Structure 1
Amino acid sequence: MLLLTGGAGFIGANFVLDWFKSNDEPIVNVDKLTYAGNLGTLRSLQGDARHIFSRTDICDAAAVQALFEQHKPRAVVHFAAESHVDRSIHGPGAFVQTNVVGTFTMLEAARQYWQGLPDDERRAFRFLHVSTDEVYGSLEPADPPFSETTPYQPNSPYSASKAGSDHLARAYFHTYGLPVLTTNCSNNYGPYQFPEKLIPLTIANALAGKPLPIYGDGSNVRDWLYVGDHCAAIREVLARGKPGEVYNVGGWNEQSNLDVVHLLCDLLQARRPKAQGSYRDQITFVTDRPGHDRRYAIDARKIERELGWRPAQTFQTGFAATVDWYLANQEWVADVMSGDYLKWVETNYQER
């Protein structure tokens, strides 16, 4: 059994859904259900005995310890995090609490549980900590991509809090021997992403005839990783990664924000043409956010060399699949943006 945190969020929920497509091993899905946690994403698993949901705050040490004692997992996959840079600028405290204190609470509970396991189960146990490339800071245009040995230089409260969680994970391996694995991924995109992020926001606003906001001049570059590819990488690291190691997970897909929005507009125009003009006409440049990193890029050669993982989606195929998914799932988007899914959660889980 896996104990998975943040499994109602964007990446975590995709991982859960992908896991059960080819695996019957149960998952205990631990999520506090903050604004970005949406159990509606996992509605297809309602009544499925393989999926055990627990509405739990990972900062609640007693509750987390009880989950370990009750379910006796063979591994932890730790996705849970506050992850939106803009929100971290306006309210950094929540990021420190969830990302630093929450990760500490999970590591400490895992350590106590792991130390009490029989020898063979102790050797097989894993704690996989999922992190971000933003901990490495910002690159200049000619700089080589981030590798696993790139020094940390976080520039936002979000990335600083994730850097802190990475250091705790490393310390628990080196101090206690807890078999920790860490992954640092690039910008994810794909189905079920909360509509505050660039790609789902662009699609939703384009269809609604609203402005498509782009920070600054749109030249900020990111390495874009399809969420299904990321989930596949996590499965490989969990199965065959070496404890104590860090694996960078990237899409080999650097694109500027403006190029991404242009592609989305063109894909939408091909699928749902506007009566007049094009979706590109809705692009609006807005004041850049404070400390906006110029470029991220991931060198993912280590995970390919050691574990054989490489992304399956290209820029064109991944973004086309994403646009098609959002066009086919407008009800999900509307529920998220209206908050109706929160009512659904209360109706279905308040007695559990």
Structure 2
Amino acid sequence: MRGFGGLSGAISDGEVIAHFGDAFREQRRLADGAALAPLGDRTVIEVAGPERLTWLDSITSQAVGRLAPGESTELLVLDPQGRVEHAAGVFDDGASTWLIADAGDAEALAAWLTRMKFRAQATVDVRADLELVGFLDAGSIAATASAAAFAPNGVPLVWADPWQRISAGGHQYSEVAEHPGADYAWRVAVLTAAGAEDLAAALDRDALAGILAAEALRIAAWRPRWAAEVDDRSLPHESDWIRSAVHLNKGCYRGQETVAKVHNLGHPPRRLAALHLDGSDAVLPQPGDPVFAGDEEVGRLTSVARHHEDGPIALAILSRRAPVGDLVVRSDGVDIAASQQVIVPADAGATADIPRLTRLSRRPSAPDPRSSGVG
């Protein structure tokens, strides 16, 4: 982060600032809306042109055809089998649509969009010249960050994460009474390099937080992201991503058949769970560490953090067969007790009563008068 990486005390890995010296304190201030976090692990893609929204609507999971200037949403790009290939936050300013993607996915997403343009009047550009900061819309820092946001077409570029609630056309599989995402008023402001430098100069150390703080709050909100929860098998149902990134009632798009099938018949092959880890060991396990139920491996960690209130926490993708009770994480040969909170139930879906054909060997010789004609 050019505007923030040179500040005294910033501990960074390339473009990503891990913390500014006190990750726990930064996390508390970020949660209170009193700090912002430079997001060197995200990249902006600008999609311009008069057909940008209808074109994006036709090839992605979200209904964005009528997105109004200043509105935010989220989309997924799925493969023909409904697996997640790309993900991005979406914001439109009336002249361009701005996609906020994980840095490791941005170039591939932009390349895929470029290949899919055909005759659509749209352009796709990775805006590596722009920087991003994240914050919670819960305190004084929100106005400061929003005022610094880039506004090339008169609308400040501030994306509002839709994870706080079920989006129109979406569906939530989690059955908890109070979803932790309801308080996750996450915002991302897009800045020019000059704007980032000015903002960094205007803020004191107490108003800055690193990516460790931002990730801890995300994990506590059960919020999936491409860089962590997605692999080559991921279906949006498995991480409850239909909540914010899939419109179940929109027109045809690649992967829609699988989305509808798994949603209507239920039982996705895997499910996301939240884990509260035993904090007696000073070393955190790592993403990718296996999760066991007894002697059976039932999944892998995808995200891990130390939360300022909850202690060590994690998200894990588990097999549907994994029990709902306590589990064990194995890290470098050490077993760590993990208390599980179910996010996506094993029987998620099955929202419609779909008539099914009987097997040929069991088909009655005459129509059953109680049936609708479908066996």
Specify the TM-score bucket, using the shorter chain as the normaliser: under 0.3
Richer in helix (by share): 1
TM-score (norm 1): 0.28
> Whose radius of gyration is greater, 1 or 2?
2
